[in-house]
Protein backbone atom coordinates (compact mmCIF):
# COMPACT_ATOMS: atom_id res chain seq x y z
CA UNK A 1 0.00 0.00 0.00
CA UNK A 2 2.80 2.44 0.87
CA UNK A 3 4.47 1.70 -2.45
CA UNK A 4 1.28 2.60 -4.33
CA UNK A 5 0.89 5.83 -2.34
CA UNK A 6 4.45 6.88 -3.14
CA UNK A 7 4.36 5.82 -6.81
CA UNK A 8 3.01 9.14 -8.09
CA UNK A 9 5.78 11.01 -6.27
CA UNK A 10 8.42 8.65 -7.65
CA UNK A 11 7.10 9.10 -11.18
CA UNK A 12 6.90 12.88 -10.84
CA UNK A 13 10.41 13.20 -9.42
CA UNK A 14 11.80 10.91 -12.10
CA UNK A 15 10.12 13.05 -14.77
CA UNK A 16 11.51 16.28 -13.30
CA UNK A 17 14.98 14.73 -13.02
CA UNK A 18 14.92 13.66 -16.66
CA UNK A 19 13.76 17.10 -17.80
CA UNK A 20 16.46 18.80 -15.72
CA UNK A 21 19.15 16.49 -17.08
CA UNK A 22 18.04 17.16 -20.65
CA UNK A 23 18.48 20.90 -20.13
CA UNK A 24 21.68 20.74 -18.07
CA UNK A 25 23.79 17.99 -19.64
CA UNK A 26 24.53 19.58 -23.06
CA UNK A 27 25.89 22.92 -21.73
CA UNK A 28 27.57 21.23 -18.76
CA UNK A 29 29.51 18.84 -20.99
CA UNK A 30 29.90 21.26 -23.88
CA UNK A 31 27.85 18.86 -25.97
CA UNK A 32 26.41 20.24 -29.22
CA UNK A 33 23.28 18.20 -29.84
CA UNK A 34 21.79 20.36 -32.62
CA UNK A 35 18.33 20.86 -31.17
CA UNK A 36 17.97 23.40 -33.97
CA UNK A 37 19.64 23.46 -37.34
CA UNK A 38 23.22 24.80 -37.38
CA UNK A 39 23.35 28.59 -37.40
CA UNK A 40 19.61 28.79 -36.71
CA UNK A 41 18.45 31.98 -35.06
CA UNK A 42 18.98 31.92 -31.31
CA UNK A 43 21.00 28.72 -31.27
CA UNK A 44 18.96 26.15 -29.39
CA UNK A 45 17.84 25.02 -25.96
CA UNK A 46 17.59 21.23 -26.03
CA UNK A 47 15.54 19.18 -25.61
CA UNK A 48 13.03 21.54 -27.24
CA UNK A 49 13.28 22.93 -30.75
CA UNK A 50 13.42 26.54 -29.59
CA UNK A 51 15.51 29.19 -27.88
CA UNK A 52 15.26 31.44 -24.84
CA UNK A 53 12.92 34.37 -25.49
CA UNK A 54 11.56 35.79 -22.24
CA UNK A 55 8.16 37.47 -22.55
CA UNK A 56 6.83 38.96 -19.32
CA UNK A 57 3.48 39.79 -20.86
CA UNK A 58 1.68 39.33 -24.14
CA UNK A 59 -1.87 39.73 -25.50
CA UNK A 60 -2.70 36.16 -24.52
CA UNK A 61 -1.19 36.26 -21.03
CA UNK A 62 -4.22 37.46 -19.08
CA UNK A 63 -6.69 35.10 -20.80
CA UNK A 64 -4.29 32.18 -20.32
CA UNK A 65 -3.74 32.95 -16.61
CA UNK A 66 -7.47 33.50 -16.05
CA UNK A 67 -8.32 30.20 -17.73
CA UNK A 68 -5.62 28.44 -15.72
CA UNK A 69 -6.98 29.79 -12.42
CA UNK A 70 -10.61 29.01 -13.28
CA UNK A 71 -9.69 25.53 -14.39
CA UNK A 72 -7.62 24.86 -11.28
CA UNK A 73 -10.63 25.86 -9.18
CA UNK A 74 -13.49 24.26 -11.11
CA UNK A 75 -12.31 21.80 -13.79
CA UNK A 76 -12.00 18.70 -11.63
CA UNK A 77 -15.48 19.08 -10.14
CA UNK A 78 -17.15 20.00 -13.42
CA UNK A 79 -15.60 17.02 -15.20
CA UNK A 80 -17.27 14.72 -12.67
CA UNK A 81 -20.70 16.41 -12.58
CA UNK A 82 -21.52 17.70 -16.06
CA UNK A 83 -23.80 15.64 -18.29
CA UNK A 84 -21.71 13.92 -20.94
CA UNK A 85 -22.78 16.15 -23.82
CA UNK A 86 -21.98 19.27 -21.85
CA UNK A 87 -18.68 17.83 -20.76
CA UNK A 88 -17.72 17.50 -24.43
CA UNK A 89 -18.94 21.00 -25.27
CA UNK A 90 -17.13 22.52 -22.29
CA UNK A 91 -13.95 20.57 -23.01
CA UNK A 92 -13.91 21.79 -26.60
CA UNK A 93 -14.58 25.42 -25.68
CA UNK A 94 -11.94 25.39 -22.95
CA UNK A 95 -9.50 23.60 -25.23
CA UNK A 96 -9.87 26.18 -28.00
CA UNK A 97 -9.52 29.00 -25.47
CA UNK A 98 -6.36 27.41 -24.01
CA UNK A 99 -4.79 26.86 -27.44
CA UNK A 100 -5.53 30.38 -28.64
CA UNK A 101 -4.60 32.20 -25.43
CA UNK A 102 -1.21 30.49 -25.30
CA UNK A 103 -0.59 31.19 -28.98
CA UNK A 104 -1.51 34.86 -28.57
CA UNK A 105 1.09 35.35 -25.84
CA UNK A 106 3.27 36.03 -28.89
CA UNK A 107 0.60 38.24 -30.43
CA UNK A 108 -0.72 37.64 -33.91
CA UNK A 109 2.56 36.02 -34.92
CA UNK A 110 1.77 33.22 -32.51
CA UNK A 111 -1.02 32.24 -34.90
CA UNK A 112 0.72 32.95 -38.18
CA UNK A 113 4.48 32.38 -37.90
CA UNK A 114 4.36 28.61 -38.38
CA UNK A 115 2.11 28.93 -41.39
CA UNK A 116 4.31 31.67 -42.85
CA UNK A 117 7.52 29.72 -42.38
CA UNK A 118 9.11 28.64 -45.64
CA UNK A 119 9.79 25.17 -44.24
CA UNK A 120 6.10 24.52 -43.65
CA UNK A 121 3.30 23.42 -45.97
CA UNK A 122 1.26 26.54 -46.70
CA UNK A 123 3.84 28.42 -48.76
CA UNK A 124 4.27 25.38 -51.00
CA UNK A 125 0.51 24.75 -51.15
CA UNK A 126 -0.09 28.24 -52.51
CA UNK A 127 2.06 27.42 -55.52
CA UNK A 128 0.35 24.12 -56.39
CA UNK A 129 -1.70 24.32 -59.56
CA UNK A 130 -1.65 20.67 -60.64
CA UNK A 131 -2.23 18.08 -57.91
CA UNK A 132 -1.62 15.20 -60.30
CA UNK A 133 1.80 16.55 -61.22
CA UNK A 134 2.65 16.98 -57.54
CA UNK A 135 1.85 13.34 -56.79
CA UNK A 136 3.72 12.04 -59.84
CA UNK A 137 6.88 13.99 -59.01
CA UNK A 138 6.64 13.83 -55.23
CA UNK A 139 9.15 11.06 -54.56
CA UNK A 140 11.79 12.32 -56.96
CA UNK A 141 11.71 15.77 -55.31
CA UNK A 142 12.37 14.47 -51.78
CA UNK A 143 16.22 14.26 -51.95
CA UNK A 144 18.33 17.31 -51.16
CA UNK A 145 20.14 16.76 -54.45
CA UNK A 146 17.07 17.48 -56.56
CA UNK A 147 17.26 21.01 -58.00
CA UNK A 148 13.64 21.65 -57.02
CA UNK A 149 13.51 19.64 -53.79
CA UNK A 150 10.62 19.98 -51.40
CA UNK A 151 10.97 22.11 -48.28
CA UNK A 152 11.75 20.30 -45.02
CA UNK A 153 8.23 19.60 -43.77
CA UNK A 154 6.78 18.81 -47.19
CA UNK A 155 9.61 16.38 -47.97
CA UNK A 156 9.36 14.83 -44.51
CA UNK A 157 5.73 13.79 -44.89
CA UNK A 158 3.58 11.96 -47.42
CA UNK A 159 1.62 14.32 -49.69
CA UNK A 160 -1.61 14.11 -47.69
CA UNK A 161 -0.32 16.83 -45.39
CA UNK A 162 0.45 19.16 -48.30
CA UNK A 163 -2.86 18.39 -50.02
CA UNK A 164 -4.80 19.40 -46.91
CA UNK A 165 -3.35 22.89 -47.23
CA UNK A 166 -3.83 22.89 -50.99
CA UNK A 167 -7.50 22.30 -50.23
CA UNK A 168 -7.56 25.26 -47.84
CA UNK A 169 -5.96 27.49 -50.46
CA UNK A 170 -8.54 26.48 -53.07
CA UNK A 171 -11.34 27.20 -50.61
CA UNK A 172 -10.00 30.71 -50.17
CA UNK A 173 -8.59 29.93 -46.74
CA UNK A 174 -4.93 30.05 -47.68
CA UNK A 175 -4.08 33.08 -45.54
CA UNK A 176 -1.79 32.26 -42.65
CA UNK A 177 -4.29 33.41 -40.00
CA UNK A 178 -7.24 31.59 -41.57
CA UNK A 179 -5.26 28.38 -42.04
CA UNK A 180 -3.87 28.61 -38.51
CA UNK A 181 -7.35 29.04 -37.04
CA UNK A 182 -8.72 26.06 -38.95
CA UNK A 183 -5.84 23.81 -37.90
CA UNK A 184 -6.29 24.92 -34.30
CA UNK A 185 -10.06 24.34 -34.32
CA UNK A 186 -9.58 20.86 -35.76
CA UNK A 187 -6.75 20.02 -33.35
CA UNK A 188 -8.92 20.98 -30.36
CA UNK A 189 -11.32 18.13 -31.19
CA UNK A 190 -8.65 15.57 -30.25
CA UNK A 191 -9.76 15.61 -26.62
CA UNK A 192 -13.37 14.92 -27.61
CA UNK A 193 -12.36 11.91 -29.67
CA UNK A 194 -10.24 10.47 -26.85
CA UNK A 195 -13.00 10.98 -24.30
CA UNK A 196 -15.59 9.41 -26.60
CA UNK A 197 -13.31 6.43 -27.23
CA UNK A 198 -12.99 5.89 -23.48
CA UNK A 199 -16.75 6.05 -22.99
CA UNK A 200 -17.41 3.68 -25.88
CA UNK A 201 -15.03 1.19 -24.29
CA UNK A 202 -16.87 1.41 -20.96
CA UNK A 203 -14.51 3.73 -19.10
CA UNK A 204 -16.55 6.91 -18.71
CA UNK A 205 -15.44 7.45 -15.11
CA UNK A 206 -11.78 7.32 -16.13
CA UNK A 207 -12.52 9.62 -19.08
CA UNK A 208 -14.02 12.20 -16.75
CA UNK A 209 -11.03 12.00 -14.42
CA UNK A 210 -8.62 12.50 -17.31
CA UNK A 211 -10.58 15.25 -19.07
CA UNK A 212 -9.02 18.30 -17.32
CA UNK A 213 -5.52 16.97 -18.06
CA UNK A 214 -6.37 16.35 -21.72
CA UNK A 215 -7.66 19.90 -22.14
CA UNK A 216 -5.10 21.86 -20.10
CA UNK A 217 -1.93 20.22 -21.31
CA UNK A 218 1.28 22.06 -22.23
CA UNK A 219 0.95 20.22 -25.56
CA UNK A 220 -1.39 23.07 -26.52
CA UNK A 221 1.73 25.20 -27.12
CA UNK A 222 2.86 22.85 -29.86
CA UNK A 223 -0.57 21.85 -31.18
CA UNK A 224 -1.86 25.34 -31.92
CA UNK A 225 -1.40 26.02 -35.65
CA UNK A 226 0.87 22.98 -36.00
CA UNK A 227 -0.22 20.51 -38.66
CA UNK A 228 0.71 17.74 -36.22
CA UNK A 229 -2.10 18.92 -33.96
CA UNK A 230 -4.45 18.34 -36.87
CA UNK A 231 -2.88 14.91 -37.46
CA UNK A 232 -3.57 14.09 -33.80
CA UNK A 233 -7.27 14.89 -34.26
CA UNK A 234 -7.65 12.75 -37.38
CA UNK A 235 -5.88 9.88 -35.61
CA UNK A 236 -8.04 10.19 -32.50
CA UNK A 237 -11.29 10.22 -34.49
CA UNK A 238 -10.10 7.19 -36.47
CA UNK A 239 -9.55 5.30 -33.22
CA UNK A 240 -12.89 6.54 -31.86
CA UNK A 241 -14.64 5.20 -34.97
CA UNK A 242 -12.81 1.89 -34.55
CA UNK A 243 -14.04 1.64 -30.96
CA UNK A 244 -17.63 2.20 -32.13
CA UNK A 245 -17.22 -0.44 -34.85
CA UNK A 246 -15.88 -2.97 -32.35
CA UNK A 247 -18.73 -2.47 -29.88
CA UNK A 248 -21.75 -2.49 -32.21
CA UNK A 249 -23.84 -5.64 -32.46
CA UNK A 250 -25.48 -4.89 -35.80
CA UNK A 251 -23.12 -6.05 -38.52
CA UNK A 252 -24.08 -3.33 -41.02
CA UNK A 253 -23.41 -0.61 -38.47
CA UNK A 254 -20.11 -2.21 -37.46
CA UNK A 255 -19.00 -2.44 -41.08
CA UNK A 256 -19.91 1.19 -41.75
CA UNK A 257 -17.92 2.41 -38.74
CA UNK A 258 -15.03 0.11 -39.69
CA UNK A 259 -14.91 1.81 -43.09
CA UNK A 260 -14.85 5.23 -41.45
CA UNK A 261 -12.09 4.14 -39.10
CA UNK A 262 -10.01 2.67 -41.91
CA UNK A 263 -10.36 5.75 -44.11
CA UNK A 264 -9.34 8.08 -41.29
CA UNK A 265 -6.41 5.95 -40.19
CA UNK A 266 -5.34 5.49 -43.81
CA UNK A 267 -5.45 9.27 -44.20
CA UNK A 268 -3.15 9.54 -41.17
CA UNK A 269 -0.58 7.28 -42.82
CA UNK A 270 -0.69 9.55 -45.88
CA UNK A 271 -0.07 12.62 -43.73
CA UNK A 272 2.81 11.39 -41.56
CA UNK A 273 5.03 8.33 -41.95
CA UNK A 274 5.24 7.88 -38.21
CA UNK A 275 1.49 7.47 -37.88
CA UNK A 276 1.78 3.91 -39.15
CA UNK A 277 2.57 3.35 -35.45
CA UNK A 278 -1.10 4.00 -34.69
CA UNK A 279 -1.42 0.28 -35.32
CA UNK A 280 -0.44 -0.29 -31.67
CA UNK A 281 -3.34 1.85 -30.45
CA UNK A 282 -5.74 0.30 -32.97
CA UNK A 283 -4.88 -3.17 -31.71
CA UNK A 284 -5.33 -1.97 -28.11
CA UNK A 285 -8.82 -0.68 -28.95
CA UNK A 286 -9.83 -3.97 -30.56
CA UNK A 287 -8.39 -5.99 -27.68
CA UNK A 288 -10.34 -3.89 -25.17
CA UNK A 289 -13.56 -4.34 -27.14
CA UNK A 290 -12.83 -8.08 -27.41
CA UNK A 291 -13.73 -7.96 -31.08
CA UNK A 292 -11.50 -8.40 -34.11
CA UNK A 293 -14.33 -8.25 -36.63
CA UNK A 294 -13.63 -4.63 -37.69
CA UNK A 295 -9.97 -5.38 -38.44
CA UNK A 296 -10.23 -6.72 -42.03
CA UNK A 297 -12.68 -4.03 -43.14
CA UNK A 298 -10.73 -1.20 -41.50
CA UNK A 299 -7.42 -2.53 -42.83
CA UNK A 300 -8.86 -2.81 -46.35
CA UNK A 301 -10.21 0.75 -46.20
CA UNK A 302 -6.87 2.09 -44.95
CA UNK A 303 -5.04 0.19 -47.68
CA UNK A 304 -7.46 1.60 -50.27
CA UNK A 305 -6.34 5.12 -49.27
CA UNK A 306 -2.68 4.16 -49.61
CA UNK A 307 -3.22 2.40 -52.95
CA UNK A 308 -5.32 5.30 -54.19
CA UNK A 309 -2.36 7.62 -53.75
CA UNK A 310 -0.14 5.04 -55.44
CA UNK A 311 -2.48 4.96 -58.44
CA UNK A 312 -1.93 8.69 -58.88
CA UNK A 313 1.84 8.42 -58.63
CA UNK A 314 2.81 8.40 -54.95
CA UNK A 315 3.77 5.01 -53.52
CA UNK A 316 4.35 5.17 -49.77
CA UNK A 317 6.70 2.17 -49.80
CA UNK A 318 8.88 3.83 -52.45
CA UNK A 319 8.94 7.20 -50.74
CA UNK A 320 9.95 6.12 -47.25
CA UNK A 321 13.44 4.83 -48.17
CA UNK A 322 14.09 8.05 -50.10
CA UNK A 323 13.02 10.12 -47.10
CA UNK A 324 15.26 7.97 -44.89
CA UNK A 325 18.25 8.99 -47.02
CA UNK A 326 17.31 12.68 -46.96
CA UNK A 327 16.80 12.55 -43.20
CA UNK A 328 20.32 11.24 -42.66
CA UNK A 329 21.74 13.73 -45.16
CA UNK A 330 20.51 16.60 -42.99
CA UNK A 331 20.84 17.81 -39.41
CA UNK A 332 19.66 14.45 -38.05
CA UNK A 333 23.06 12.93 -38.83
CA UNK A 334 24.66 15.44 -36.44
CA UNK A 335 22.22 14.80 -33.59
CA UNK A 336 23.86 12.27 -31.24
CA UNK A 337 21.66 9.32 -30.39
CA UNK A 338 23.44 9.12 -27.03
CA UNK A 339 21.56 12.28 -26.06
CA UNK A 340 18.38 12.11 -28.08
CA UNK A 341 17.38 8.58 -27.14
CA UNK A 342 16.53 9.96 -23.69
CA UNK A 343 16.36 13.67 -24.55
CA UNK A 344 13.33 12.85 -26.70
CA UNK A 345 11.58 11.49 -23.63
CA UNK A 346 12.32 14.69 -21.73
CA UNK A 347 10.81 16.69 -24.59
CA UNK A 348 7.77 14.41 -24.45
CA UNK A 349 7.40 15.09 -20.72
CA UNK A 350 7.58 18.83 -21.32
CA UNK A 351 4.96 18.55 -24.03
CA UNK A 352 2.60 16.33 -22.06
CA UNK A 353 3.48 17.99 -18.76
CA UNK A 354 5.31 16.57 -15.72
CA UNK A 355 2.05 15.13 -14.36
CA UNK A 356 2.48 12.43 -16.99
CA UNK A 357 5.36 11.11 -14.91
CA UNK A 358 3.11 10.93 -11.85
CA UNK A 359 0.39 9.17 -13.84
CA UNK A 360 2.80 6.62 -15.28
CA UNK A 361 4.28 5.98 -11.85
CA UNK A 362 0.82 5.32 -10.50
CA UNK A 363 0.01 3.01 -13.42
CA UNK A 364 3.14 0.94 -12.83
CA UNK A 365 2.39 0.62 -9.12
CA UNK A 366 -1.26 -0.34 -9.58
CA UNK A 367 -0.54 -2.81 -12.40
CA UNK A 368 -3.50 -5.14 -12.68
CA UNK A 369 -5.56 -3.04 -10.28
CA UNK A 370 -5.64 -0.09 -12.64
CA UNK A 371 -8.52 0.39 -15.07
CA UNK A 372 -7.86 -1.98 -17.99
CA UNK A 373 -8.91 0.57 -20.62
CA UNK A 374 -6.37 3.04 -19.31
CA UNK A 375 -3.67 0.37 -19.13
CA UNK A 376 -4.14 -0.86 -22.70
CA UNK A 377 -4.40 2.57 -24.31
CA UNK A 378 -1.39 3.92 -22.42
CA UNK A 379 0.59 0.82 -23.33
CA UNK A 380 -0.43 1.19 -26.98
CA UNK A 381 0.77 4.79 -27.09
CA UNK A 382 3.90 3.85 -25.14
CA UNK A 383 4.75 1.10 -27.60
CA UNK A 384 4.43 3.56 -30.50
CA UNK A 385 6.72 6.04 -28.73
CA UNK A 386 9.28 3.33 -27.94
CA UNK A 387 9.47 2.18 -31.56
CA UNK A 388 9.72 5.75 -32.83
CA UNK A 389 12.52 6.51 -30.38
CA UNK A 390 14.48 3.33 -30.99
CA UNK A 391 14.18 3.73 -34.77
CA UNK A 392 16.32 6.90 -34.51
CA UNK A 393 14.01 8.47 -37.09
CA UNK A 394 12.77 10.71 -34.26
CA UNK A 395 15.62 12.81 -32.97
CA UNK A 396 14.54 16.21 -31.61
CA UNK A 397 11.31 18.07 -32.43
CA UNK A 398 9.29 15.24 -30.89
CA UNK A 399 7.27 17.73 -28.82
CA UNK A 400 5.51 18.31 -32.15
CA UNK A 401 5.99 15.00 -33.95
CA UNK A 402 4.63 12.84 -31.12
CA UNK A 403 1.51 14.96 -30.51
CA UNK A 404 -0.84 12.21 -31.80
CA UNK A 405 0.29 9.91 -28.98
CA UNK A 406 0.34 12.42 -26.11
CA UNK A 407 -3.39 12.40 -25.19
CA UNK A 408 -3.44 8.63 -24.94
CA UNK A 409 -0.46 8.68 -22.57
CA UNK A 410 -2.16 11.37 -20.50
CA UNK A 411 -5.00 8.97 -19.74
CA UNK A 412 -2.69 7.70 -17.00
CA UNK A 413 -3.48 10.88 -15.02
CA UNK A 414 -6.95 9.43 -14.42
CA UNK A 415 -5.27 7.06 -11.96
CA UNK A 416 -3.93 9.83 -9.73
CA UNK A 417 -5.40 9.89 -6.20
CA UNK A 418 -8.03 12.56 -5.55
CA UNK A 419 -5.68 14.61 -3.39
CA UNK A 420 -3.30 14.83 -6.35
CA UNK A 421 -5.68 16.00 -9.01
CA UNK A 422 -5.87 19.75 -8.44
CA UNK A 423 -2.17 20.18 -7.56
CA UNK A 424 -1.20 18.10 -10.59
CA UNK A 425 -3.45 20.19 -12.82
CA UNK A 426 -1.86 23.33 -11.38
CA UNK A 427 1.57 21.93 -12.23
CA UNK A 428 0.42 21.34 -15.81
CA UNK A 429 -0.87 24.85 -16.42
CA UNK A 430 2.13 26.47 -14.72
CA UNK A 431 4.45 24.39 -16.93
CA UNK A 432 2.58 25.54 -20.02
CA UNK A 433 2.65 29.20 -18.98
CA UNK A 434 6.35 29.09 -18.14
CA UNK A 435 7.30 27.40 -21.41
CA UNK A 436 5.28 29.84 -23.48
CA UNK A 437 6.67 32.89 -21.67
CA UNK A 438 10.30 31.77 -21.48
CA UNK A 439 10.91 30.17 -24.84
CA UNK A 440 10.34 30.70 -28.52
CA UNK A 441 9.20 27.19 -29.34
CA UNK A 442 9.29 27.34 -33.16
CA UNK A 443 5.69 26.11 -33.40
What band does 304 get if pLDDT is binned at 50, 70 and 90?
very high
Flag whether pLDDT at 227 surpasses 90. yes
Report CA 209 to chain centroid distance, whole Å. 20
In 3-state terms, what secondary structure has residue 127?
A: coil
Q: Is the peptide bond before 236 cis (omega within 30 degrees of 0)?
A: no
Report d(CA 218, CA 231) in Å as an integer: 17
Distances (CA, A) of 142 to 129, 155, 356, 421: 19, 5, 36, 46
- 351-382 residue pLDDT tens: 999 999 999 999 999 977 889 999 999 999 99
For residue 52, list its beta bridge partners.
439
- Helix, strand or coil, per DSSP, at residue 440: strand
DSSP 292-354: -THHHHHHHHHHHHHHHHHHTT--HHHHHHHHHHHHHHTGGGGS-HHHHHHHHHHHHHHHH-T
Confidence of residue 208 (pLDDT cuts 50, 70, 90): very high
CA 64 to chain centre: 21
In angstroms, rounded to a whole number, what is the distance separating the alpha carbons of residues 261 and 239?
7
* 83-98 pLDDT per residue, tens: 999 999 999 999 999 9
- Cβ contact 119:153 at 8 Å: yes
| CA 39 to chain centroid | 27
pTM for the model stands at 0.96
| Rounded Cα–Cα distance for residues 205 and 168 (Å) | 38
For residue range 229-239, list pLDDT tens digits in order. 999 999 999 99
Give the span between the Cα atoms of 389 and 384, in whole angstroms: 9
Rg (CA), the chain: 21
Which helix (H) or strand (E) covers residue 52, if one does? strand 51-52
Q: How many CB atoms lie within 10 A of CB 198?
A: 29
Output DSSP code: residue 51: E
Number of H helices, E strands in the chain: 23, 2
User: Containing domain of residue 398, as a range?
Assistant: 2-440
Per-residue pLDDT reduced to its tens digit, 1-20: 546 668 999 999 999 999 99
- Asked if residue 210 lies in contact with residue 414, where contact means CB atoms within 8 angstroms, the answer is yes
Cβ–Cβ < 8 Å for 253, 290: no
Spatial contact of 414 and 194, defined as CB atoms under 8 Å apart: no
pLDDT of residue 3: 63
Number of domains in the chain: 1
pLDDT, tens digit, for every residue of 17-62? 999 999 999 999 999 999 986 555 556 789 999 889 999 999 999 9
> What whole-number distance in Å separates Cα of residue 218 and Cα of residue 381?
18
Position 74 pLDDT exceeds 80? yes
Averaged pLDDT of the chain: 95
Distance CA 343, CA 399 (A): 11
Q: Within 10 Å of residue 285's Cβ, how many Cβ atoms?
A: 28
d(CA 85, CA 424): 25
Q: Torsion angle, CA of 168/171/172/174, rounded to 10 degrees?
A: 10
pLDDT of residue 443: 72
- Digit-coded pLDDT (tens) for 241-280: 999 999 999 999 999 999 999 999 999 999 999 999 999 9
Smallest Cα–Cα separation from 440: which of 9, 109, 149? 109
Per-residue pLDDT reduced to its tens digit, 95-110: 999 999 999 999 999 9
| CA angle, 325 then 398 then 184, to 5° | 115
Give CA–CA dist 208/28, Å, rounded. 43
CA angle (281, 82, 249) in 5-degree steps: 45
CA distance 143 to 202: 47
Amino acid sequence: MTRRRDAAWVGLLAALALITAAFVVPPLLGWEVYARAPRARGGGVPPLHGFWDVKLFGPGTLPAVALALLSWRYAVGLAERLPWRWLLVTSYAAGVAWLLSLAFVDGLSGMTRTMDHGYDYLATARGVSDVGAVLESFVERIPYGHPDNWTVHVAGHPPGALLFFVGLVRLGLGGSLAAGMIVTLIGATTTLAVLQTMRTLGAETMARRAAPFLVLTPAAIFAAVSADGMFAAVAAWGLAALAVAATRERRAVAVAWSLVAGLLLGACVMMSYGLALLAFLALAVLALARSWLPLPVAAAAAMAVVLGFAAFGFAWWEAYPVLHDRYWDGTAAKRPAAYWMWGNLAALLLCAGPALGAGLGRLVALRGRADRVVIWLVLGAGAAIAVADLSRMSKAEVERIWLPFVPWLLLSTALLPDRWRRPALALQVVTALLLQHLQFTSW
